[in-house]
Amino acid sequence: MPVQRGSRQPNPPRRPQQLDSVEPMQVDDPDGPQDAPSNFVVDPPSNFDLESYASGYEGPAKIKRLMFVAKHCPSLSEDALRLALAAVEKTFNMATFVTIRQKLYQCTNDSKYAENDESALFVTQVNRKSAITLERLDSDLKNYRSNSIKESIRRGFDALGDHYMDCGDLSSALKMYTRARDHCTSSRHIVSLCLNIIKVSVLLGHWQQVLSYYSKAEATQEVAEAHKNQTNLSMLSRLKCAAGLAEMEGRKYKNAARYFLQASFDHCNCPDLLSPYTIAVYGGLCALASFDRQELYTKVISSSSFKLFLELEPSLRDVISQFHQSQYTSCLSTLEALRNSFMLDQYLANHISDLYAQIRNKALIQYFSPYSSVDLHKMADAFNTDVNSLENELISLILNGMISARIDSHAKVMHSRHIDQRQAMFQKAIEVGDAYVLRTKVLLMRALLHNNGILVSQASDQSDETSVDTSPAGAAPKRMKP
């Protein structure tokens, strides 16, 4: 074998992205500030099982999540990096392999992770295998294109995309998957194309592209029949989870919750995207932050499907139940105990502060809603806080229009604003009456114009004048132009 071929690298230098056939939105700038700085550190959660967490994923998703844990939890860093190294050794992604070994050496100072001849030989051998595989796939694709067999060409592009994914070259993988679009001959092929592009777009963080291809998949006959006949639920669950994740990253938590709640537990098999445990956490937190009390009961607590997901995280299940039962002290304390565990999730970390704040605000609003006045001392005890801090929170809610109330700072009592229902009803009746009178006058005017055969129409674009036809009464009106 020639030396040049053996030294070929599977990860060529990245060229400028020229994905003419890909949607123009490539980089997303989420609205609102990022909740967590990129260099935050958390203590190891007592209830966090790293191996169990990692077992729910495979491929690049598993590696990225483990490296995120290693970066933000120093006490779990060594274990996370070891698991990530074991996962990356099964791929052609030698750039990440070298990076993880370097991090392990810095973390453990173990000489077996230092650069040596053995690791260099392993990298060379894997790169050689990757180059040979790439050349074979490229040759196969050329043969397919020369024979003009669309199905084979589509599979050839998909195979190249899978190979680039395995090499960690996500940009090239996206390009290969996208090029398969011109060779799709059925709605099933289009759905497969959308799922492939969604998979790599999630890893790249192209959330608008995820939603775009979700919509394209939903518009196909394949997905429509699956919805109608409740078939191929695995495909539907994958699409819903991807859309939910994209909506969550866009901070549209209610939309995200609705998507996650539509996932089927028995057919949720997408370890390269989300695990069932993660779906339970994402769906539960988004629902808590955005659903009202009735929606929370009917769509989450009473949901026979989502209950199975929540069984994987009993603490969160209890939090949702306690929130619905107005047990705010235990609800918020349990939620706070879960914070560090949730902060180790690469997608959830930037939303924890926002989600927790919305959940707490909803609890404050829900606590006050049945009363005309509330003693702030008793309310502070219910929320396990001091009166001054609670008062500041309530002032913020009042100023934002989320609570209609006034606070007596001297007596530490919050009073609901009294609305004169009688006056409000009279005002509404007057407004409805005025609207009715105006509508009646308009109808009478139209009837008079019609009875007198008068037709007023806009003149042509060349003239700003208005033409008026004054035909005899009863005669068909004719359009007159100046």
| pLDDT per position as a tens digit, 260-290 | 999 999 888 899 999 999 999 999 999 999 9
- pLDDT at 477 (0 to 100): 53
Q: How far apart are CA 210 and CA 243, in angstroms?
A: 7
Under 8 Å between Cβ of 203 and 170: yes
Q: At 416, which helix (H) or strand (E)?
A: strand 413-416
* Better-predicted residue by pLDDT, 427 or 477: 427
Write the single-letter amino acid at 69. Answer: V
| pLDDT of res. 2 | 40
Give the bridge partners for 405, in sequence order: 416
* Pairing relationship of beta strands 413-416 and 373-375 according to DSSP bridges: antiparallel
User: Residue 458: phi, psi to the nearest 5?
Assistant: -75, 135
How much is the pTM?
0.78
Q: What is the DSSP pairing of strand 454-458 with strand 405-408?
A: unpaired
253 in Cβ contact with 355 (< 8 Å): yes
CA-based angle 270:271:273, to the nearest 5?
A: 70
CA neighbor of 388 nearest in space, from 372, 368, 409, 361: 409
Work out the angle between the directed axes of helices 187-204 and 59-72 (0-180°, nearest 10).
20
125 against 37, higher pLDDT: 125
Residue with tokens 């599979």: 155
Alpha carbons 299 and 254: distance in angstroms, whole number:
12
Backbone angles phi, psi at 84, to 5 degrees: -65, -40
How far apart CA 125 and CA 131 sit, in angstroms, is 10
> For the segment 170-184, what is each residue's pLDDT rounded down to a tens digit?
999 999 999 999 888
